[in-house]
Amino acid sequence: MSHDQTQEVLEAIAQLQQRLEKLEVSKKVKKAVGRHGHPPKAYEGLSGNYFEFQKTDDCETYQSVKDQLDNCLTDTEFRQDLSKNNLGRAIINYYQQTGNLIFWAPNQTALMFGHARSGVTDLNPSERFSIPQSKLILLGKHDGDKVGKIQVELLVNFQQFMEDEVNEKRRLKYEAALQKISTPKKK
């Protein structure tokens, strides 16, 4: 082989190596797969998780979500649905005391206020919340190891809430008995 031919072969090998490197690099880079015309899901991969939205006075998002929730809590059916469950009552109490909100993601598109429960398909549009993920604190999953539920119980001081609730019922019972005893009987 002549020197020119050797030089041409070396250049061809160098070009082939560059093309091969480009192919390998492009093979490693994955293209984002579009959802074929569907908008991206707000809570993709986070269904079944609990979130906390902490009170902030200077946040428009917090104020609009708070107003939406306050409006929902005036609905007796919504409030009764939450109050059927001990954790639901504890979450309402936590909100009233601190202003912080606890949400659950039943699917990847919306949040529900309160504890994990069924009925997401029957929800009123006003009972569905949409909050930017950047403003939420992820507490964990409801299912499986129940880390999220345990985090919520710790956050809302669930044990203390249950003790307070039992003591309040006992106090009301004693007051009613005392009222009954202390009222004079009519003759």
Tens of pLDDT, residue by residue over 61-109, are 899 999 999 999 999 988 998 899 999 999 999 999 999 999 988 888 8
In a domain, 88, yes or no: yes
pLDDT in tens, 103-161: 988 888 889 998 888 877 777 888 889 899 889 988 887 666 678 888 889 899 999 98
Where is 150: in which H helix or E strand? helix 147-155
In a domain, 65, yes or no: yes
Q: Which residues of 39-65 are buried (b: 16+ CB within 10 A; e: fewer)?
A: eeebbeebbbbbbbbeeeeeeeebeeb
In a domain, 39, yes or no: no
Number of domains in the chain: 1
In a domain, 19, yes or no: no
pLDDT score recorded for residue 1: 63
> The domain containing residue 145 runs over which residues?
49-162
In a domain, 151, yes or no: yes
**Alpha-helical regions (H) of 1-98:** 3-28, 60-73, 76-83, 86-98
In a domain, 143, yes or no: yes
Query: Mean pLDDT over all residues of the chain?
Result: 84
> pTM (2 decimals)?
0.71
In a domain, 38, yes or no: no
pLDDT score recorded for residue 28: 58
Where is 140: in which H helix or E strand? strand 137-141
Q: Is the pLDDT of residue 178 over 70?
A: yes
| Confidence class for position 167, pLDDT limits 50, 70, 90 | very high
Residue 86, C-beta contacts closer than 8 angstroms, at least 6 positions apart: 158, 161, 162, 165
Q: What is the dihedral of CA 74, 80, 84, 89, to 10 degrees?
A: 10
In a domain, 93, yes or no: yes
Q: What is the dihedral of CA 160, 161, 162, 163, to 10 degrees?
A: 50
